Amino acid sequence: MNALSRYLTEQRISRRERALQAALDSPQAWSKLYAASTEYQQRDRFVRFCQEVLKGQPANQHAWAFLSLASDPAQELPALIAFGEEVIRLHPDNDRAWTQLDQMYAKRGDAAGLTAFCREILGAHPGNRAALARLVPAAKQEGRYKEIISMCLQSLKTNPDDAQTWCNLADAYVAQNKFAEAIPAYQQAIQLQPNFVVAWNNLGNVYHTQGRYAEAVAIYEKSIKLNPGDASPWVWLSLAYIELGQHEKAQEAAKKAKARLPMVAEMLRDKLAAKV
């Protein structure tokens, strides 16, 4: 490319870049810059442009999409992941950046790498919800409940009004049979988010496990009002009524469960028959 060609290319690309900088939410402007960059073999420059935009505006979906389009994932995935991590270090609470990083780590098949990065972010930003949301399921799968409790307690110092963290904490206590600690944690989750069906169900299960069947019934009934299509509380409600000796109510609950989980309903029928 001679000097004149380089000059003209620079002018064309710069013009497109300025137009895009004035309209970063315009897919048409992104498409025009991408087309020009491809035509004039300026892919690396386009990639750098995308990256600069994302460092300042990590939620820009067009920048992420065109960055992926302009990159060769087979060859550049490690570099893309490193850039995604860089963006999150700058914007640790940005959901779009986390979603993009999830996808890139999934393509790489590197769950351990994502876990390690989440630990880094949680260490730098105690209570970071995005990192915690990814670490807790991984720790649950591996049975690391003490670690979950530690992470949740640390997070709650920063985000005491996060219902999901309270529920995660309670679940970890239950896994260790620490029901006295789990109950107030579930109750706190429910207080913060009254329609938190999972917390209602799990609290009912704790009461059930403790033999507090009347209290469990009240919880299951509340859960059913919140989400009547869910079969699980109907099953547990039937089991609780069986333990309370209220067979007619147990049968009614079993009928509701049967419409949703026929095979489980058979188990309930056998249990009812055994109690008669």
Residue 140 belongs to a domain: no
Q: So what's the pLDDT on residue 7?
A: 77
24: domain CATH number is 1.25.40
* Average pLDDT score over residue span 83-100: 97
Number of independent structural domains in the chain? 2
pLDDT band at 99 (very low <50, low <70, confident <90, very high): very high
258: domain CATH number is 1.25.40.10
Regarding whether 1 and 105 lie in a shared domain, the answer is: yes
**Boundary residue ending a domain (59, 89, 109):** 109
Identify which has the larger pLDDT, 273 or 222: 222
* Average pLDDT score over residue span 234-238: 90
Mean pLDDT for the chain?
A: 91
Asked whether 41 and 69 are in contact (CB, 8 A), the reply is no
Residue 119 belongs to a domain: no
Residue 2 belongs to a domain: yes
Give me the half-sphere count of Cα atoms (radius 13 Å) on the Cβ side of residue 25.
1
pLDDT band at 148 (very low <50, low <70, confident <90, very high): very high
Q: Give the pLDDT confidence of 166-190 residue by residue, as tens digits.
A: 999 999 999 999 999 999 999 999 9
Regarding whether 101 and 200 lie in a shared domain, the answer is: no
Q: So what's the pLDDT on residue 263?
A: 67
**Boundary residue ending a domain (91, 109, 127):** 109
Residue 257 belongs to a domain: yes
Q: Which residue range forms the structural domain that includes residue 210? A: 195-276
pLDDT higher than 60, residue 110 = yes
Residue 146 belongs to a domain: no
Residue 273 belongs to a domain: yes
- DSSP state at residue 71: S
Pure H helices in the chain: 3-21, 27-39, 43-56, 61-70, 73-90, 95-108, 111-124, 129-141, 145-158, 163-175, 179-192, 197-209, 213-226, 231-243, 247-258, 262-275
Q: Give the pLDDT confidence of 201-217 residue by residue, as tens digits.
A: 999 999 999 999 999 99
Residue 131 belongs to a domain: no
Q: Give the pLDDT confidence of 35-44 residue by residue, as tens digits.
A: 999 988 899 9
pLDDT higher than 80, residue 275 = no
Residue 29 belongs to a domain: yes
**Boundary residue ending a domain (109, 143, 165):** 109
